[in-house]
Chain A
Amino acid sequence: NAGVTQTPKFRILKIGQSMTLQCTQDMNHNYMYWYRQDPGMGLKLIYYSVGAGITDKGEVPNGYNVSRSTTEDFPLRLELAAPSQTSVYFCASSRGDQPQHFGDGTRLSIL
């Protein structure tokens, strides 16, 4: 029962570096989401997708990009890492308006 798998689990980046956070789900869910959660704060939606080839901005999209070429995969790209992007990143998926299932997160520090 893999569910939603995120890689890597931890990463330290230098300012200005780029990286891709990977997310894959094996539940054939059409909706996928990326959130960030800063310490002691709630979830903030970065981007979401309602199906392959369709993506849309959430509440805090600046500094990030996504793609959805397949139903299973929804990678999140940071092009020029900034200290403000230090956070925990969660990927989630759902079938329509059913409950979202979350991956166990990527802890990202930018120094």
Chain B
Amino acid sequence: RKEVEQDPGPFNVPEGATVAFNCTYSNSASQSFFWYRQDCRKEPKLLMSVYSSGNEDGRFTAQLNRASQYISLLIRDSKLSDSATYLCVVNENTGGFKTIFGAGTRLFVKA
């Protein structure tokens, strides 16, 4: 089992749609969680951190379920500019810590 697994993509959605991505992680000692977005041929950029109580930033909502070891990202009212690859990132506690990036889920938002 991969340490961090994401929904296989690509997701093709129309503008205005709501889309949800899930990500599972294998190490129950994982401490912190993030969503990044990566545009084609660009560097990954932090989208949002994921907190235990869930958190929202405009059209984006992130949730964490420690019992089931998954995190999710919900995008409401999709825009063309949301087209990108979304990376799930997990920090494991391994004495020091270890950051694991998921392989990413590709999103295409179409007019």
Contact = CB atoms under 8 A, between A and B. Distances in A.
B101 interface: yes
A43 B101 contact: yes
Contact of A102 (B41, B44, B49, B96): B44
**Chain B interface helix/strand/loop/mixed:** strand
Interface residues of A, number: 17
A102 B46 CA distance: 9
Interface residues of B, number: 20
Contacts of B89: 99-100
Contact of B43 (A33, A94, A97, A102): A102
A50 B95 CA distance: 13
Interface in B31-71: 31-32, 34, 41-46, 49
Give the residue among A41, A88, A99, A102 with the most B Cβ atoms within 10 A.
Answer: A99
B91 interface: yes
Contacts of B49: 99
Given A41-B103, A97-B91, A102 B45 contact: yes
Nearest to A39: B41
B27 interface: no
Interface string B79-101: 00000000101010000110101
Interface of B: 31-32, 34, 41-46, 49, 87, 89, 91, 96-97, 99, 101-104
